[in-house]
């Protein structure tokens, strides 16, 4: 179901572009949030309004909102969490290599490459399509015939990261039950791509599934979805959509506040979709994924041979 929300209060005036004092600016924003009187003890159920302030602060440092179209948008920085939220996972991709202690480059069920065959996707994920440099994570899709370890041949190869396992019997790197999940993402401009920031169960059995943001069949609209198993055992879903926005023009902060009694999705600091029906809210540990799939729901148009999805940072906060 959809609900309308008031716009979140802005902690400070938004900056245009990245500035040298960007980190101090974010901290002042976060300090102001604390000073407005967060409760001394915040339970998971009572903290619904804290993520809204956090989302506004995250948006302030998501630079590039006013950057000229001819220049590449700067990569935003991830601030600390205000009040009684504690950051339990973070990566700002500040080095030159992917942190293997935090990320796998495939789904849990295959280390030598993988795909999501249930979606009839066209790509075979490979570690070589994942790169870290310049303060960002880059997932690259390329039209290149690739033979998968499953015996099938795929017309595309692409990249993904997950906090899951390297192999079926290994332990996940990180799982989370409830929390505030956020990432600064720039989706590709090419059609036929499915960039996604999402959560899947550590059990590897879906549903449930939480899609924080998907560019499903559009570069100007994002979809926010919860999937669950109905009484008859079939998969059901509820989705919200937000757009039109020129998402490929710059980074945008996509976030989800997953509470025991609610799910609230944010785009650039503003709540855009909410679910409160109990059967639709997962209650199991989940892994975090960032993926660039190809060909679902439709293949790339002729002339599109590559695409990139960039991620400036990822963070998870809990009470």
13 within some domain: no
Residue 1 lies in a domain: no
pTM for the structure as a whole: 0.80
How many beta carbons lie within 10 A of that of residue 195, not counting itself?
27
Structure tokens at 117: 């065959």
More confident residue, 301 or 62: 301
* β pairing state of 123-125 and 153-158: parallel
Sheet of 235-242: strand order equals: 160-162, 286-294, 193-201, 209-214, 222-229, 235-242
- What range does the domain containing 240 cover? 22-318
Helices (H) and strands (E) in the chain, counts: 2, 16
Task: Give me the mean pLDDT over the 271-297 stretch.
Answer: 97
**What pairs with residue 257 in β-bridges?**
180, 264
CATH number of the domain within which 118 lies: 2.60.120.200
Evaluate whether residue 267 is within a structural domain: yes
User: What percentage of residues in the chain have a pLDDT greater than 90?
Assistant: 65
Q: Kindly give the interhelix angle for 50-60 and 22-35, rounded to the nearest 10 degrees.
A: 160
In a domain, residue 31? The reply is yes
Asked if the structure places residue 14 within a domain, the reply is: no
Cβ–Cβ under 8 Å, residues 49 and 42: no
Note whether residue 151 is domain-resident. yes
On whether residue 104 sits in a domain, the answer given is yes
Residue range 217-221: mean pLDDT, rounded: 95
In DSSP terms, which residues pair with 142 in a beta bridge? 157, 306
Helix residue spans in 9-90 (DSSP H): 22-35, 50-60
Instruction: Report pLDDT digits (tens) over 156-202.
Output: 999 999 999 988 889 999 999 999 999 999 999 999 999 999 999 99
In a domain, 272, yes or no: yes
How many domains is the chain built from?
Answer: 1
Residue 135 is predicted with a pLDDT of 93
Task: Average the pLDDT over 69-89 and give the result.
Answer: 66
More confident residue, 268 or 13: 268
Q: What is the pLDDT of residues 92-145, one digit of tens each?
A: 999 999 999 999 999 987 666 798 877 889 999 999 999 999 999 999 999 999
Q: What is the mean pLDDT of the chain?
A: 81
Q: Has residue 8 got a pLDDT over 70? A: no
44 pLDDT above the threshold of 50 = no
């Amino acid at each position: 179901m959809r609900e309308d929300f008031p716009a979140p209060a802005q902690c400070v005036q938004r900056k245009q572009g990245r500035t040298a004092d960007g980190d101090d600016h974010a901290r002042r924003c976060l300090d102001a949030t604390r000073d407005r009187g967060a409760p001394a003890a915040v339970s998971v159920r009572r903290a619904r309004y804290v993520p809204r302030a956090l989302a506004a602060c995250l948006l302030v440092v998501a630079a590039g909102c006013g950057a000229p179209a001819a220049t590449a948008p700067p990569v935003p920085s991830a601030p600390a969490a205000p009040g009684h939220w504690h950051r339990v996972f973070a990566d700002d991709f500040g080095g030159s290599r992917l942190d293997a202690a935090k990320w796998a480059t495939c789904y849990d069920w295959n280390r030598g490459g993988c795909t999501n065959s249930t979606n009839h996707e066209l790509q075979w994920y490979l570690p070589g399509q994942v790169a870290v440099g310049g303060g960002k994570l880059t997932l690259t899709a390329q039209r290149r015939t690739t033979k998968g370890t499953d015996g099938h041949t795929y017309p595309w190869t692409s990249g993904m990261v997950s906090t899951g396992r390297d192999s079926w019997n290994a332990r996940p790197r990180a799982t989370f039950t409830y929390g505030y999940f956020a990432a600064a993402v720039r989706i590709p401009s090419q059609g036929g791509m499915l960039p996604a920031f999402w959560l899947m169960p550590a059990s590897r059995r879906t549903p449930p599934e939480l899609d924080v943001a998907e560019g499903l069949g559009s570069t100007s609209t994002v979809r926010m979805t919860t999937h669950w198993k109905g009484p008859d055992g079939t998969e059901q879903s509820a989705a919200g959509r937000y757009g039109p926005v020129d998402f490929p023009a710059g980074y945008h902060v996509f976030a989800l506040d997953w509470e025991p009694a609610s799910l609230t999705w944010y785009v650039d600091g503003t709540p855009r979709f909410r679910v409160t029906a109990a059967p639709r809210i997962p209650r199991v540990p989940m892994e975090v994924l960032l993926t660039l799939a190809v060909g679902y729901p439709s293949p790339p148009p002729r002339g599109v041979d590559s695409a990139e999805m960039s991620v400036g940072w990822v963070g998870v906060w809990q009470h």
